């Protein structure tokens, strides 16, 4: 149920309905006659039918319960956005628990049109916290509610390795605090966007901006500028078409903007 609750509420109910239909069909199917030589098969069939009989009640219960959890999580995310927008300050962000901070970040990305999937974690530093999908591309998000210390380069470097291993198009590190200069330098050119507390507050206040347009810490004038919207560009690798495998600069606001520049 905990895994299912990460899906939208309607998907939870759909899983429960499909599970019920499959289990009910198996449970109500006629049992084969027991004959000499097929006793083991008959026992296995009876065992499966017994599981299906229980499953036709268990699946709907799990689906409905997970749907309620999913619905209230999303509702809580909206409430957190309203709470932060009512008092947009760093103290407001620091006053949230790490679970609330993750839900706030998730809702911020939902408002920008991403499909959000929470990743189960064991604690406030459980690795990748959120997966995003948009236009068939996947992005990873790591949330760091660090009040006293800055997020260092080791966090960004680790996320870059996970991003490459999972074949994600990009990644975000979101913190209520700030980033070190080393972290900003490592992220530059690797399609990792760093969103600090100030940028997150701005994101929540301005729905017109996309998370990719957030200020990447310590970006400098050497970063290419998109010819379409004047946003910073990041290095990408073509995944399809005649130029598959070739590197190029793409707009950091992709998929909202499709501006590109060749790499000299």
pLDDT at residue 31 is higher than 50 = yes
User: Regarding predicted confidence, which is higher, 91 or 144?
Assistant: 144
Helices (H), the chain: 9-27, 39-86, 90-94, 98-110, 153-166, 181-187, 197-205
Q: Is the dihedral of CA 100, 104, 109, 113 positive or negative?
A: positive
DSSP 196-244: -HHHHHHHHH-TTS-GGGSPPTT--TTS-B-TTT--BEEEEE--SSTTT
Q: Which fold has domain 113-219?
A: Trna Endonuclease; Chain: A, domain 1 (3.40.1350)
Task: Give me the sign of the Cα torsion angle 15, 16, 22, 23.
Answer: positive
In the chain, where are the structural domains located?
4-86, 113-219, 221-264
How does residue 36 score in pLDDT terms, banded at 50, 70 and 90? low
Q: Give the model confidence (pLDDT) of 53-101 as tens digits.
A: 898 889 999 989 888 877 877 777 777 777 676 666 667 787 788 888 8
203-258 residue pLDDT tens: 777 654 444 444 344 334 456 777 766 677 788 877 766 677 778 888 877 766 77
């Amino acid at each position: 149920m905990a895994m299912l609750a990460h899906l939208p509420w309607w998907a939870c109910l759909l899983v429960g309905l499909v599970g019920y239909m499959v289990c009910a069909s198996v449970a109500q199917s006629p049992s084969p006659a027991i004959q000499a030589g097929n006793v083991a098969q008959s026992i296995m069939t009876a065992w499966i039918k017994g599981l299906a009989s229980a499953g036709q009640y268990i699946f709907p219960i799990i689906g409905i319960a997970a749907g309620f959890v999913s619905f209230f999580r999303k509702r809580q995310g909206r409430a957190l956005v309203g709470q932060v927008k009512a008092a947009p300050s760093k103290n407001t962000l620091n006053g949230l628990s790490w679970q609330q901070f993750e839900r706030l970040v998730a809702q911020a990305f939902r408002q920008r049109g991403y499909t959000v999937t929470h990743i189960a974690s064991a604690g406030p530093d459980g690795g990748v916290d959120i997966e995003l999908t948009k236009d068939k591309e996947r992005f990873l998000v790591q949330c760091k509610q660090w009040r006293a210390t800055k997020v260092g380069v080791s966090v960004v470097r680790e996320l870059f390795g996970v991003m490459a291993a999972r074949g994600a198009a990009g990644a975000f590190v979101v913190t209520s605090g700030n980033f070190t200069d080393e972290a900003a330098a490592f992220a530059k050119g690797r399609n990792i966007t760093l969103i600090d507390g100030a940028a997150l507050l701005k994101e929540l206040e301005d729905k017109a901006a996309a998370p990719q347009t957030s200020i990447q810490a310590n970006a400098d004038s050497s970063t290419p500028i998109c010819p379409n919207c004047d946003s910073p560009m990041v290095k990408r690798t073509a995944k399809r078409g005649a130029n598959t495998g070739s590197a190029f600069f793409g707009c950091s606001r992709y998929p909202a903007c499709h501006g590109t520049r060749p790499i000299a």
